[in-house]
Amino acid sequence: MFKIGTLADWFGVGLLEGIRASQRCGAQGVQIYAANELDPRTLTPAGLAAVQQTLRETRQEVTALCAELGGHGLEIAADNPAKLDYLRRTIDLAGVLGCGVITTHIGIVPAERGSEKYKVMQAACSEIGRYAKEHGAQVAVETGPEPVARLCAFLDGCEGAMAVNYDPANLVMVTGDDEVAGVYTAAQRIVHTHAKDGVMNFNAGCETVYGIFADGGIEALNTVSTYFKEMPLGQGKVRWPQYLRALREVGYDGYLTIEREVGKDAGADIRMAVGFLQQAIAAL
């Protein structure tokens, strides 16, 4: 029905050891950041060979590559040529690794469809969407910076292979959107998911929170961490039984990729999350 994946980088032991840790905890696949030692702009043949060898040895499938655009995503026209070049290189790398999904954050989709920012973002997404389609890949935009319905309407206006990376915790912690109802809205657009959990302490608005992140990164976001809290899987407000049933009902049968960005021992939380998901899937 579903496959369980992890994010190699969040084990905190380096990329290659992270892939091995994913296998040891019982996951079937691993998502990898297209950054640092796997940045397609600086990746060496030896570095690529080491990753490929480790994937073969551990029998881990690459669930998706994560393309980090930073800052305001694709909101600023002058920044987009370099970012689109990076995305094209990431799509190429995904093909080499036998992976068809590239996840990313594109910024905050404006509510005003006729705004200049909306047009800039849609033009950039159409350009990279066409490239992805030509190369048998899909670029999946992560949920969170805006309501799911707004994101889906935006993607419907883009050309090429643009899709959704569904993160229910972002909706619960920041957006205040219904994480179960949103599955039915996104439906067949969902090509990858993040298994994450959390609680909202104060609804500051997704534009405010993601705006702080865009301007100052993770460090700035930590200053408003009282607004929400990421929790180990099953300990937050994501309604897992209903959420998984919704995914099944819309026909999704791909990866539930565990993301644990905080915590004293993220590796232990990831291992616990694998067991949690195995039990939750078995109970469906």
Q: In this structure, which CATH number among 3.20.20.150, 3.40.50.300, 3.40.190.10, 3.30.1490.270 belongs to the domain 3-282? A: 3.20.20.150
Contact 210, 174 (CB under 8 A): yes
Instruction: Annotate 97-128 with three-state secondary structure.
Output: CCCCEEEECCCCCCCCCCCHHHHHHHHHHHHH
pLDDT at 202: 87
pLDDT per residue as tens digits for the range 173-200: 999 999 999 999 999 999 999 999 999 9
Q: What is the mean pLDDT of residues 111-129?
A: 96
pLDDT per residue as tens digits for the range 127-137: 999 999 999 99
Residue 198: beta bridge partners?
A: 230
Distance CA(25)–CA(21), nearest Å, equals 6
Q: What is the mean pLDDT of residues 236-265?
A: 93
**Averaged confidence pLDDT in the chain:** 94
Distance CA(244)–CA(284), nearest Å, equals 8
Contacts of 40 (CB under 8 A, 6+ apart): 34, 86, 89, 90, 92, 93
pLDDT per residue as tens digits for the range 215-243: 766 666 666 668 889 999 999 999 999 99
Distance CA(264)–CA(189), nearest Å, equals 34
Q: What is the mean pLDDT of residues 90-100?
A: 97
CA 201 to chain centroid: 23
pLDDT per residue as tens digits for the range 70-80: 879 999 999 99
